[in-house]
Amino acid sequence: MSEENTPAFKDFSLAPAILKVVEEVGYETPSPIQSQSIPPLLEGHDVLGQAQTGTGKTAAFSLPLLSRLNPKLKAPQILVLTPTRELALQVAEAMQTYARHLKGFQVLPVYGGQNMGQQLRQLQRGVQAVVGTPGRIQDHLRRGTLKLEKLSCVVVDEADEMLKMGFIEEVEQILGHAPEERQTALFSATMPKEVLSVARKHLNNPIEIRIKSKTSTVDKISQHFWQVKGLHKLDALTRILEAEEIDGMLIFVRTKVATVELAEKLEARGFSSAALNGDMTQMLREKTVEHLKKGTLDIVVATDVAARGLDVKRISHVVNYDIPYDTEAYIHRIGRTGRAGREGKAILFVAPREKRMLAAIERATRQPIKAMALPSRKDITNRRINQFKEQISTSMESEDMEFFEELIDQYQSEYDVGHRRIAATLAYLLQKERPLNPDEAFVEEVRVERPERTSSPRRERKTNDDQMQTFRIEVGRKHGVEPGNIVGAISNEGKLNSKDIGRIRLFDQFSLVDLPKTLSADTLHKLKGVWVCDEQLQISADSGSYKSATQDFSSKRKKFGKSGSGIKKYGSRAQKTTAPRRKRDKKI
């Protein structure tokens, strides 16, 4: 099906509440599996679909089935079987998003290892959709806690994975418990004979759909991913912009609204950027692309549809700020760089729960995607220094300096100051709005928030201080750590309740955390090897780190003046890695 003939989501007979969400999340053009699956599922037909992971299957079955659902009926109407806990959570979260305008809708993920009592309570309250692994679904069926009498549709997702994991018999048994008058959809990347046997036995005259996986080799494009953690994505992007040698950059986000928001935030941080989306007039879109081609604009933040067909040779980087919904979209995105024989770089931001899509993208591109570390503050400093040196060399070679040389000689004669001192002062004046070496000594003290507590913070702290000891861990703000990372690691690996974790103070190279004095030697030994933000905690009793660091901070405050602006300006959490700077006419 050509792009000209591809239908839009609004062309399908989706329920208005579902279509509204589709527009809100920024879906513009359905993927092949979606365009072929949605119409027959809306009409009530069974579907047998062959499509790879990462082609958009979840939306392909969720959107039409939710459109046919009765939200007033508090009983399971949709049952989705998945091979893994991770996929069950992913599908359940997607369905909850798609159904957010369906009043009273509830979806329940069920899988082994989760608290059974919690699942039972949710089932008793009433849910319209259940997404789960075969073993736990069977468990509920045996207990009689999952009733399938009102079931209108069963979806078997990734059936070939079910077969590999030995779940195919459980799948058949569950299908046998479902009402005969029901709709069934089965999706699989491959169709081994065992999966086809299940389809022939349990599907009724299914519409068969086969989507050929588009694979692509992108030899001229180096691909990298950064796992979202610690830092906010905007701060991570800013570090990349500061440290990379960039000519032009294309940043992809999922929604039209996000293009404008991100472009404005980058402009506020001093980068020459603009949005590109379908709500813009054709004239404005063409003008934006022309500015990018000419070099009067360095960064364009776009949606998939708006960037379709974009051909700008100077695009050296493509950043997937939001991971695409399918692998085909990813291939289209990164194809905007590496043009005309030039090399390009593609960077993908991946949340932990999006690792499945990452694996699907690697299969589609036939290339491993390398994990990348964010540029450190030292990297950013070195980059700024190199740019500063280049600026000096360029001006020295291209400008007439005779007038300024005489001025410097005159100043030296009048004030008896050496040329080196004068040059250093002029360099400081030139770079003070965007310091070459931002101060890193800012110390931040954070208290862990505990909403469940009702006692006053002052009383709570006094009680804790009597029973607590300060420990040092070797991960700090430089590594992108947040208090939540520390609390999660210590509570999970040390088997501690979060209420037993006291004050957390973040420094650049390390952090301090207050823990119970009764902490056992075994627990401490275990915590030493725990990894947070790619650093081992190496926890040890503190020997005065906090005092020495704050003294150092105080001395720097005196040096910069009472306001401490020389420190506070560039070390605050709000700005983290970059100093405020003027917009630049030159390229990034």
CATH superfamily of the domain spanning 3-210: P-loop containing nucleotide triphosphate hydrolases (3.40.50.300)
Q: Quick: pLDDT tens for 19-40.
A: 998 888 777 788 889 999 999 9
Computed over every residue of the chain, the mean pLDDT equals: 81
In percent, the amount of the chain with pLDDT more than 70 equals 84
pLDDT score of 301: 95
Check: CB of residue 201 under 8 Å from CB of residue 172.
yes
Asked whether residue 317 carries a pLDDT value surpassing 90, the answer given is: yes
> What CA–CA distance (Å, rounded) separates 188 from 156?
8
pLDDT of amino acid 150: 93
For CATH 3.40.50.300, the residue range(s) in the chain are 3-210, 221-375
Q: According to the model, what pLDDT value does residue 62 have?
A: 95
Of 486, 465, 461, nearest to 475 by C-alpha is 486
Q: Cα dist. 479→160, 377, 423, 513, 531 in Å?
A: 41, 10, 34, 16, 12
Is the pLDDT at 570 greater than 60? The verdict is no
Cβ atoms < 10 Å from Cβ of 304: 22
More confident residue, 435 or 155: 155
Q: Which residue has the higher pLDDT, 575 or 532?
A: 532
DSSP-derived secondary structure for 172-220: HHHHHHS-SS-EEEEEESS--HHHHHHHHHH-SSPEEEE-PPP----TT
pTM for the complete prediction? 0.53
Confidence of residue 465 (pLDDT cuts 50, 70, 90): low
Q: Model confidence over 67-90: pLDDT tens digits? A: 999 989 999 999 999 998 888 888
Report the percent of the chain where pLDDT is more than 90: 32
Backbone angles phi, psi at 525, to 5 degrees: -65, -40
pLDDT at residue number 565: 37
Cα angle, residue 421 at apex, residues 585 and 376 outer, rounded to 5°? 50
Contact present, 82 and 132 (Cβ < 8 Å) = yes
Confidence of residue 218 (pLDDT cuts 50, 70, 90): low
Element (H, E) at 318: strand 315-320
Give the pLDDT of residue 217. 54
Written as one letter, the residue type at 249 is M
Task: Inform me whether the pLDDT recorded for 566 exceeds 50.
Answer: no
pLDDT at 194: 92
Alpha helices for 338-376 (secondary structure H): 355-365
Phi, psi of 200 (to 5 degrees): -65, -35
Decide if 160 contacts 194 (C-beta within 8 A).
Answer: no
**CA distances for 155 relative to 144, 183, 273, angstroms:** 21, 9, 44
Residues in the chain: 588
| 426-444 residue pLDDT tens | 888 877 766 776 543 333 3
User: What is Dmax (Cα atoms) for the chain?
Assistant: 100
Q: Is the pLDDT of residue 577 over 50?
A: no
Q: Is pLDDT at 215 greater than 70 in this prediction? A: no
Which of the following CATH numbers is that of domain 221-375: 3.40.50.2300, 3.20.20.70, 3.40.50.720, 3.40.50.300? 3.40.50.300
Query: Which segments of the chain belong to CATH 3.30.70.330?
Result: 444-548
Beta carbons within 10 angstroms of residue 521's beta carbon: 7
Query: What average pLDDT does range 469-473 have in this prediction?
Result: 91
- Look at residue 216 in the predicted model and tell me its pLDDT: 59
CATH architecture of the domain with residue range 444-548? 2-Layer Sandwich (3.30)
Q: How confident is the model at residue 458 (pLDDT cuts 50, 70, 90)?
A: very low
Q: What is the pLDDT of residue 213?
A: 64
**Position with higher pLDDT, 525 vs 43:** 43
Least confident of 43-47, 94-98, 271-275, 304-308: 304-308
For the segment 496-551, what is each residue's pLDDT rounded down to a tens digit? 876 788 888 888 788 999 999 888 888 888 888 888 887 889 899 887 655 555 44
Continuous segment of H or E residues that includes residue 524: helix 521-528
The pLDDT of residue 363: 83
Q: What is the pLDDT of residues 324-358, one digit of tens each?
A: 877 878 888 888 888 766 789 999 999 888 888 89
Which long-range contacts (C-beta less than 8 Å, at least 24 apart) are formed by 496-502? 496/523, 498/448, 498/450, 499/450, 499/452, 499/453, 501/448, 502/448, 502/461, 502/464, 502/465, 502/468
Tell me which residue of 446, 476, 447 sits closest to 537, measured CA to CA: 476
* Angle (deg, nearest 10), helices 483-493 and 521-528: 130
pLDDT band at 152, cuts 50/70/90? very high
The pLDDT of residue 90 is 84
CA-CA-CA-CA torsion for 107, 109, 115, 116, nearest 10 degrees? 80
3-state secondary structure 76-102: CCEEEECCCHHHHHHHHHHHHHHCCCC
Strands 344-350, 221-227: pairing kind? parallel
